[in-house]
Amino acid sequence: MAAPMHSSPGTVPAGGHASAPTLPRHFLQLKDFTRDELEHVFARTRRIKEQFKRYEPYHPLFDRTLVMIFEKQSTRTRLSFEAGMHQLGGAAIFLSTRDSQLGRGEPVEDAAQVISRMCDIVMIRTFEQDIIERFARHSRVPVINGLTNEYHPCQILADIYTFLEHRGPIAGKTVAWIGDSNNVCNTWLQAAEVFGFNVHVSTPPGYEVEPERAGLFGTDHFEAFADPIDAVRGADLVTTDVWTSMGFEAENEARRRAFADWQVDADMMRLAAPDALFMHCLPAHRGEEVAAEVIDGPQSVVWDEAENRLHTQKALMEYLLLGRVNS
């Protein structure tokens, strides 16, 4: 029986060949991790990013395999996980519903059993959160949420790290979310509870935050505003996302009409704090949820956000597979 190459409490190496398997840790929602764990991931991100920029090889995941399952499209998530695993010394395999048995009705529980016997870590982008929860319950290895209808925790990991790089700790700050109360918004709201900051949300009527769906413990860290102007006033960070998320395309026209007054433009940004940042998870639609002058303007940090997907997810995979590595 092969011995595991690394001590990784909470995980079982590929094929589950450890003698006394324990339940793996997963990252299915942001609040699955404590603030202390997330801060550890950020500390490791800083170190891993610095080493990478200096071209210093770091291959702690040599011989480890990441399987990436995509039921929705992606540019950033696929690229950052695939490149990230390669840079850590491991390999990444891409599976989509189009070209695997997942698209032909194989039960998600069976897929989880099989896939997790052949790899060390799994990333899934899918529809309902329930699908990834079921997969994780039957997986021998850590599962990462690469976006569901409800949450996008890897995105907010990168966003908060980006805020930290530009402005320092986010605790006590105010984030203004303008637009749809979608997966990215829900994850910002969870992050506000974990890190202790406030989110001012403004959505059109009928698209309001549903605290239960967002997985919130309470409502202490967010406030809803009917008028987006009131939500951005004094904010340290203004952020938005597409009006129609993947999976909701049938609502496109209705949403276009409903969200017309929820575009983040320069007039709106002028009401935020003078040093406010602008973020967008991308892909963006200039002229819809954001004006070109904002996303391409001096307050925008969208390219840093996108790049930091790579570095934060490398730290996340290191943590899930190897536990706490000292910097």
270 in active site: no
3-state secondary structure of 122: strand
Q: Which of 29, 126, 162, 183 binds ligand NVA (CB under 6 A)?
A: 183
For ligand CP, give the closer residue by CB, 75 or 219.
Answer: 75
Q: How far apart are CA 189 and CA 194, in angstroms?
A: 9
Looking at beta carbons, which residue is closest to ligand CP? 77
The answer to the question of residue 149 lying near ligand CP (CB under 6 A) is no
The answer to the question of residue 75 lying near ligand CP (CB under 6 A) is yes
3-state secondary structure of 157: helix
Question: Smallest Cα–Cα separation from 60: which of 89, 82, 92?
Answer: 89
How many other C-beta atoms are found inside a 10 Å radius of the C-beta of residue 161?
24
73 in active site: no
Question: Smallest Cα–Cα separation from 72: which of 144, 136, 148, 139?
Answer: 148
The answer to the question of residue 242 lying near ligand NVA (CB under 6 A) is yes
Q: Is residue 29 within 8 Å of residue 151, measured between CB atoms?
A: yes
CB of 251 to ligand CP, least distance (A): 18
The answer to the question of residue 155 lying near ligand CP (CB under 6 A) is yes
Return the exposure string of 55-86: e unless at least 16 CB atoms fall within 10 Å of the residue's CB, then b: eeeeebbeebbbbbbbbbebebbbebbbebbe
3-state secondary structure of 313: helix
Question: Smallest Cα–Cα separation from 125: which of 58, 173, 77?
Answer: 77
CB of 73 to ligand CP, least distance (A): 7
The answer to the question of residue 69 lying near ligand NVA (CB under 6 A) is no
Stretch that binds ligand NVA, among 128-136, 217-225, 237-245, 289-297 (CB under 6 A): 237-245
Binding flags for ligand CP, 265-294, as an x/- string (CB under 6 A): ----------------xx------------
Q: How far apart are CA 35 and CA 157, in angstroms?
A: 11
Scan residues 102-141 and list those touching ligand NVA (CB under 6 A): none
152 in active site: yes
CB of 196 to ligand NVA, least distance (A): 25
Contact partner at residue 83 from ligand CP, ligand NVA, none, CB < 5 to 8 Å by partner kind: none
Q: Which of 11, 29, 77, 308 binds ligand CP (CB under 6 A)?
A: 77
Active site residues: 125, 152, 155, 241, 281, 309
